[in-house]
Amino acid sequence: MSFRKAWRTNGFVGLLGTIAVFLIGVVVAIATIALVANGMSPALVIVTVVAVLLAVAALIVMSGLTVVSPNEAKVLQFFGRYIGSVSEAGFYLVTPMTDRRTISLRVRNFETQKLKVNDADGNPVEIAAVVVYQVVDTFKAAFAVDDYEEYVAIQSEAAVRHLATSYPYDSHQEDTISLRDGATIAEELTVELRERTERAGIEIIEARITHLAYAPEIAQAMLVRQQAAQVVAARQQIVEGAVGMVGLALDRLAEQGVVELDEERRAAMVSNLLVVLCGDRATQPVVNAGTLYG
């Protein structure tokens, strides 16, 4: 069994019709009861019974009047049997004597708690996510699971845990995905949650990581590691730039014939230039007096 639309008609027409039938039944019943009391034909008893039944039937039909608010749906059960849903906002007359359950179709937000899990490298991390979802199949939401809101909450935490254990917190290679790759991780989390919640009639609109950090017990050590990695990366870039500048300087000197350098002086110049360019402190020139006055 799956979602289907329930029978319904305009509620105002149904209300006016049932009120008219009820009033007719009451008036006829009162009139025939008075005639029967005055000794009129016993056939009027049958008319009285019919009029009373007509009024009771009108009251029963009135029980089918219902109001559907915007972005809500009514799931109808007739003596335990699912007979359909009404999702269009308005005032309707539906099948009388039905159990009507209200299901919200509004877009909802759910944020998981901060979960402490081990990433793919075995490092304990804290992670949390926000999930945006909406009910699209009222039958599944009402009958496929006990509580679709609790179902989404549990499945969201399970998906976040699975995602956190599948990737490292931070990648040290350019072609490796990490938990810090926001767009890629969000897309994968959304796809996994859609597969998990489809059976409950839920559509996952978006899922994103809202909190990601190392666990407190290793946070300081990981901060030192990150700083060291950044220093090494910066030094590599500085060295690459310095080597290029030294090569450019030697080529320009040779092209313009400014000075003739043998291999020993060339090596000394390269060493001095690298020290100046790669040093993390300002250089201080030293004048060789022996060379000046010698």
pLDDT tens-digit readout, 186-217: 999 999 999 999 999 999 999 999 999 888 77
Neighbours of 125 (CB within 10 A): 24
Note the Cα 185 to chain centre separation in Å. 12
Query: pTM score, two decimals?
Result: 0.70
Neighbouring residues of 66: CB distance < 8 A, sequence distance ≥ 6? 11, 74, 86, 91, 92, 93, 94, 100
**Residue 69 near residue 50 (C-beta atoms within 8 A):** no
152-165: average pLDDT: 94
Per-residue pLDDT band at 40 (split at 50, 70, 90): low
User: Is the confidence at residue 293, as pLDDT, over 50?
Assistant: no
Query: Domain 108-214 is of which CATH architecture?
Result: 2-Layer Sandwich (3.30)
Domain ranges across the chain: 8-102, 108-214, 224-293
Please give the share of the chain, as a percent, with pLDDT higher than 70: 74
